[in-house]
């Protein structure tokens, strides 16, 4: 099968490329490298079934594909706060272009949305039918609101054209190919712990998160795309295991055998108090659930970061 992955040089996209190549698919990886990296795809850049397209998906381009995974977008606070307009455009204009490309090719389509569309939720854990508690004009709105608009576009293509589309809302994900200076909780904590630098927590550490290892997330994306009778559906993909931010910091310091102290700073604007996915629908319709134990996943991630952080520090 010919598969187009937008944002394919990013964290999740590159892991998805690797998995689909292993399964024998032909991959077209489109990325403008604003937040993605060629380092993430160097392992298969010479694979004859892999083609890299340095492409801004807000601009027209042609690609013959049987399935389109639309993952392109800055996704970390560092990325979308540095590129707010680009974030809005890729999730609106870019999504529209990819939906049109899917319609032209009669291709299956999946958009990677986000748990951020729930804002600072008043319902816990969050189900797919929860509409959210959001700030549409805050500094994070460039990401949250453009993802909500992207979801609206997808559903209109389903209603008007009976397009074979689905939405996946991704909760906190961690693992290899995360950017070193990602700005998100797990990459930040691991990088700081490896360097024995103070672990920075924004707020008092009592906010909660649930984290999913990237191989589990990729498995969920593939199941959502290729499971029959999923057109027009929305799926949460995340872990049901919830911990405080402080607990994550303490776990990582211990696993890294680090001398890092924990430092508390002012909470970020609109940072949600609690975040955990209700994944009952994904289990029932896709047969999906988390497989990788959190401690095992963190150990694998720390091992990967240890090699990368050392190299990054030397180059810097």
Catalytic residues: 143
Helix, strand, or coil (residue 3): strand
Closest residue by Cα to residue 92 from 134, 164, 153, 144: 153
Taking alpha carbons only, the member of 180, 184, 173, 88 closest to residue 139 is 88
Q: Where are the beta strands (DSSP E) in the chain?
A: 2-6, 26-31, 50-54, 67-70, 108-114, 165-170, 173-174, 199-202, 208-209, 212-213, 234-237, 243-244, 262-265
Which contiguous run of DSSP H or E holds residue 185? helix 185-194
Distances (CA, A) of 60 to 64, 68, 104: 13, 15, 13
């Amino acid at each position: 099968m010919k598969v187009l992955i937008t944002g394919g040089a990013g964290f999740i996209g590159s892991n998805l490329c690797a998995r689909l190549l292993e399964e024998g698919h032909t991959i077209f990886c489109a990325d403008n490298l604003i937040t993605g990296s060629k380092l993430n795809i160097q392992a298969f850049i010479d694979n004859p079934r892999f083609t890299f397209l340095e492409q801004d998906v807000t601009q027209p381009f042609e690609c013959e594909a049987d399935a389109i995974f639309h993952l392109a977008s800055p996704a970390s606070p560092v990325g979308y706060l540095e590129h707010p307009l680009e974030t809005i455009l890729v999730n609106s204009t870019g999504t529209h272009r990819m939906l049109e490309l899917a319609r032209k090719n009669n291709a299956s389509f999946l958009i990677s949305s986000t748990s951020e569309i729930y804002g600072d939720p008043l319902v816990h854990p969050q189900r797919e039918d929860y509409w959210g508690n959001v700030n549409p004009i805050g500094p994070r709105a460039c990401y949250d609101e453009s993802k909500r608009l992207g979801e609206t576009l997808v559903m209109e293509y389903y209603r008007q054209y009976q397009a074979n589309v689905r939405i996946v809302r991704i909760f906190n994900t961690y693992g290899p190919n995360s950017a070193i200076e990602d700005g998100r909780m797990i990459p930040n904590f691991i990088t700081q712990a490896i360097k024995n630098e103070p672990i920075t927590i924004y707020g008092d550490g009592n906010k909660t998160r649930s984290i999913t290892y990237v191989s589990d997330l990729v498995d969920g994306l593939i199941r959502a795309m290729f499971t029959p009778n999923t057109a027009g559906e929305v799926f949460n993909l995340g872990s049901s295991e919830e911990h405080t931010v402080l607990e994550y910091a303490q776990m990582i310091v211990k696993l890294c055998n680090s001398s890092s102290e924990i430092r508390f700073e002012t909470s970020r604007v609109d940072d949600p108090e609690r975040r955990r996915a209700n994944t009952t629908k994904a289990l029932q319709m896709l047969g999906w659930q988390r497989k990788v134990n959190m401690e095992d996943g963190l150990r694998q991630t720390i091992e990967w970061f240890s090699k990368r952080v050392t190299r990054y520090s030397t180059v810097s």
